[in-house]
Amino acid sequence: MQNGSIVVALAGNPNSGKTTIFNDLTGMRQHVGNYPGVTVEKRSGVVNHNGHRIEIIDLPGIYSLTAFSEEEIVARNFILQEKPDVIIDVIDSSSLERNLYLAVQFLEIGIPIVLDFNMADVARGKGMRVDIGLLSELLGMPIIETVGSKGKGIEGLLDAVIEVTGKKNRKRIEIPYVEEIENAVEKIIPLLEVENDGMLMKRWFAVKLLEQDEDVANRLREKNGRGFEKLQEVVSNSINHIKDVMGVSPDVLIADSRYGFIKGALHEAHQEADSGNIDITEKLDSILTNRLLGIPIFAFIMWLMFQFVFTLGQYPMGWIETGFEKLSTLLNGIISNGIMRSLIVDGIIGGVGGVLVFTPNIALLFFAIALLEDSGYMARAAFVMDRVMHRIGLHGKSFIPLIIGFGCTVPAYMSSRILENKKDRLVTMHINTFCSCSARLPVYILLAGTFFPAIAGNVIFSIYLIGIFFAVIMAKVLRATRFRGELEPFVMELPHYRIPTFKGALIHTWDRIWMYIKKAGTVILLISIAMWGLFTFPMIGEDDYSGDYISQKKEIEESYQAGDISAESYSEQISEIEGKMNAEKLEFSAAGRIGKFIEPVFRPLGFDWKMVVASISGIAAKEVVVSSFSTLFSIGGVDETSESLRDRIKNSYHPLVGYNFMLFTLLYFPCMASMAVFRREAGTKEMLFQIFYTLGLAWVVCMIVYQIGKFFI
């Protein structure tokens, strides 16, 4: 108990509702989803209850105290090293026997436990009956029933926490093991040099050694020092002896005893459901995970998702666009100072507005992903894709981070923690960038809408498909070169389907949208202003133009006054000259010079310096590609003409180049923020590899596309 507050860990099997309970307890809004492995990091929050300050820590789900994947290590280390005062073990009541397996292990390490029988509604719906009082007595732990998704039973949970912390001599139940195990445990205990502080008991260490838990062995190697060799010898002798006598290894016997203890308790206090009722999950699964239909259905769902995002998003997008255009026109009239006007209209409204326009699409995308996550389909997608993923040297579980990557690559990198094997994890992270994130969507919508207005939805979908294609290819390449190795076999629990709560999906969507808007108002605002500065300064002087445009303009003026040319031809000629002047003005600016300098590298791709500058600025965040484009074409536009941004872009490039630019945006690494996370998760070397190989790939692919495409245009 640090400075008077009680530290409570929320632990339990994956997908049992820990984060839901955490949100109920603390009023926070951490991400909840219906598949195992949503939470991959610990999160803490505080609640005050009856004068006690309680610090709650939400942990990733675990099946046992032997950790396999990165996120399980987070949970296990918190429990074993930071030793919370109380563990609330969140249990899926509809699957008690398996969930209690972990509870029994908590019992053995001696930290006070409160059992939270969550999903009580589901259990009841299945017709299960539990005698809570009796079971609590048999297991020696208080039990509270809750329905996390409806916020029921939360108070009781807090009362129970305070009660167990106050209790001194708690009754401690020991799991009885078979005789051979008990004998071995007795032999091992005297050799252990760990302090028996009543928490991590020697008995638990001994049992773990017999289970051949590598992590516990390593821990003891440190603590026991020289005595460790003796200990190791005794342990391995015991294991061999048990194998000889019993014919199975100790871990099987230990697991059997634990399940035996649980079954014994449940036998008395629990009534199973009368089976035979139709299982909706199984019915749905027989279609959705069908051998033949599974993949086509998955592809259709993805297609539907992008159509939904693009088609439905178009209307509100149009309204916001019109709004910003009106605002620009209005401000153009009000602000008289040329530079100020350009900063506000071209730089800020062009840049930030250019990004905000896509808010509805981003909202729809995150809403769609939230539905996928909440319904339980996510885990099925992993299953369905297992066969495909196998061909490229990954397994189905890798698909979960990949799908999350369609929203944002940062949580996707985090989510790859659920992969148990380090190489699987690195390959998955390295290919995640090809699952095009939502920040790139604005680039596609802008360019596809500009160059291919009639079939924009399908063009965008094609970009996504190409992304998946490269994910597959690169996975295969990486697997064959840098990350060779055995494929880890996988087993995953499939959650029951659940009708997604509209409210939950909306809340999640709103959180993401708010992040997007905040980002537009901060990072993107700053970068837009900086980019505007780079596009504007140094300003071109009259002498710096390549031709004497001023006198040319004067001549035209004069001949018009004299009646030599018609009004039509007059304005045509004038705007032609102004167009030239604007182009030179931009090229004279800092950004123009940098772009011009690098342009030769990108010329084989068909890009001009503006595209180069937009791509470079996109390293900060992919949305900035759009904002830079908007600012560029806004500054470059001739004031009098009412050409829209789209028309200006359309008149500047061939559609092939437009498409190629989308490809380039798709293929190079996502953004600075994501690279920081990449570094934290995988190290500097891997991050640098990611940056350079994606840039190289993007360049090569786009070069080939342009060089071949050139012949057809």
Ligand X SMILES: Nc1nc2c(ncn2[C@@H]2O[C@H](COP(=O)(O)OP(=O)(O)OP(=O)(O)O)[C@@H](O)[C@H]2O)c(=O)[nH]1
Closest CA to 658 of 708, 701, 619, 605: 605
Instruction: Round to whole Å and give the CA distance between 465 and 663.
Output: 11
Instruction: Round to whole Å and give the CA distance between 534 and 234.
Output: 72
Instruction: Round to whole Å and give the CA distance between 25 and 157.
Output: 9
User: In terms of CB distance, is 60 or 618 closer to ligand X?
Assistant: 60
Instruction: Round to whole Å and give the CA distance between 575 and 553.
Output: 10
- The partner residues of 45 in beta bridges, in order of sequence, read 56
Residue from 137, 159, 251, 584 touching other proteins (CB under 8 A): that is 251
Residue from 6, 7, 16, 621 touching ligand X (CB under 6 A): that is 16
CB of residue 86 vs other proteins: minimum separation in angstroms? 22
Instruction: Report residue 48: phi and psi, to 5°.
Output: -105, 130
Should residue 500 be labelled a site residue for other proteins when binding is judged by CB under 8 A? no
- Token pair of 685, please? 């070397």
Should residue 492 be labelled a site residue for ligand X when binding is judged by CB under 6 A? no
Instruction: Round to whole Å and give the CA distance between 400 and 35.
Output: 9
Residue from 55, 145, 180, 285 touching other proteins (CB under 8 A): that is 285
Element (H, E) at 113: strand 113-118
CB of residue 118 vs Mg ion: minimum separation in angstroms? 12
Instruction: Round to whole Å and give the CA distance between 479 and 418.
Output: 19
Residue from 159, 182, 256, 643 touching other proteins (CB under 8 A): that is 256
Should residue 141 be labelled a site residue for ligand X when binding is judged by CB under 6 A? no
Should residue 479 be labelled a site residue for other proteins when binding is judged by CB under 8 A? no
CB of residue 397 vs other proteins: minimum separation in angstroms? 8
Should residue 72 be labelled a site residue for ligand X when binding is judged by CB under 6 A? no
Should residue 11 be labelled a site residue for other proteins when binding is judged by CB under 8 A? no
Should residue 36 be labelled a site residue for ligand X when binding is judged by CB under 6 A? yes
Should residue 102 be labelled a site residue for other proteins when binding is judged by CB under 8 A? yes
The option from other proteins, ligand X, Mg ion, none interacting with 496 (CB < 5 to 8 A, set by class) reads: other proteins
Residue from 16, 19, 660, 665 touching Mg ion (CB under 5 A): that is 19
Residue from 5, 66, 552, 571 touching other proteins (CB under 8 A): that is 66
392-431 binders of other proteins (CB under 8 A) = 395-397
Q: Which residue carries 């014919």 as its tokens?
A: 247
Question: Residue 287, class by beta-carbon neighbours within 10 Å (0-12 exposed, 13-18 middle, 19+ buried)?
Answer: exposed
Should residue 386 be labelled a site residue for other proteins when binding is judged by CB under 8 A? yes
Q: Which residue carries 């979908």 as its tokens?
A: 461
Binding-site residue total for ligand X (CB under 6 A)?
25
User: In terms of CB distance, is 71 or 346 closer to ligand X?
Assistant: 71
Binding mask 355-394 for ligand X (x = CB under 6 A): -------------------x--------------------
Should residue 295 be labelled a site residue for other proteins when binding is judged by CB under 8 A? no
194-233 binders of other proteins (CB under 8 A) = 211-212, 214
- Token pair of 623, please? 């949305």
Instruction: Report residue 545: phi and psi, to 5°.
Output: -70, 150
ω into 538 cis (within 30 of 0) = yes
Q: Which residue carries 């996502």 as its tokens?
A: 670
CB of residue 213 vs other proteins: minimum separation in angstroms? 8
CB 61 within 8 Å of CB 136:
no
Q: Which residue carries 């293929």 as its tokens?
A: 667
CB of residue 508 vs Mg ion: minimum separation in angstroms? 13
Q: Say whether 114 sits in a helix, a strand or coil.
A: strand
User: In terms of CB distance, is 10 or 468 closer to ligand X?
Assistant: 10
Closest CA to 3 of 69, 74, 55, 42: 55
CB of residue 145 vs Mg ion: minimum separation in angstroms? 20
Instruction: Round to whole Å and give the CA distance between 677 and 167.
Output: 43
36-95 binders of Mg ion (CB under 5 A) = 38-39
Rounded to the nearest angstrom, the gap between the alpha carbon of residue 448 and the centroid of all alpha carbons in its chain is: 26
CB of residue 49 vs Mg ion: minimum separation in angstroms? 22
The option from Mg ion, other proteins, ligand X, none interacting with 33 (CB < 5 to 8 A, set by class) reads: ligand X
Should residue 246 be labelled a site residue for other proteins when binding is judged by CB under 8 A? no
Should residue 383 be labelled a site residue for other proteins when binding is judged by CB under 8 A? yes
The option from other proteins, Mg ion, ligand X, none interacting with 34 (CB < 5 to 8 A, set by class) reads: ligand X
The option from ligand X, other proteins, Mg ion, none interacting with 68 (CB < 5 to 8 A, set by class) reads: other proteins
CB 618 within 8 Å of CB 665:
yes
Closest CA to 46 of 37, 36, 56: 56
Should residue 415 be labelled a site residue for Mg ion when binding is judged by CB under 5 A? no
Binding mask 118-147 for other proteins (x = CB under 8 A): --------x---------------------
Binding-site residue total for other proteins (CB under 8 A)?
47
Instruction: Round to whole Å and give the CA distance between 241 and 72.
Output: 32
Should residue 578 be labelled a site residue for other proteins when binding is judged by CB under 8 A? no
What does 153-191 look like in DSSP terms, one character per residue?
THHHHHHHHHHHHH-SS-----PPPPHHHHHHHHHHGGG
Instruction: Report residue 136: phi and psi, to 5°.
Output: -60, -40
Residue from 17, 353, 405, 658 touching ligand X (CB under 6 A): that is 17
Report which residue type is found at 544.
D
What CA dihedral angle connects 309, 39, 418 and 147, to 10 degrees?
-90
Instruction: Please work out, in degrees rounded to the nearest 5, the angle formed at the alpha carbon of residue 646 by the alpha carbons of 641 and 648.
Output: 50
- The residues that touch other proteins, with contacts defined as CB under 8 A, are 63-64, 66, 68, 94-95, 97-98, 101-102, 126, 211-212, 214, 249, 251-252, 255-256, 259, 273, 279, 281-282, 285-286, 289-291, 379, 382-383, 386-387, 390, 395-397, 487, 489-496
- The residues that touch ligand X, with contacts defined as CB under 6 A, are 14-20, 32-34, 36-39, 60-61, 118-119, 121-122, 147-149, 374, 498
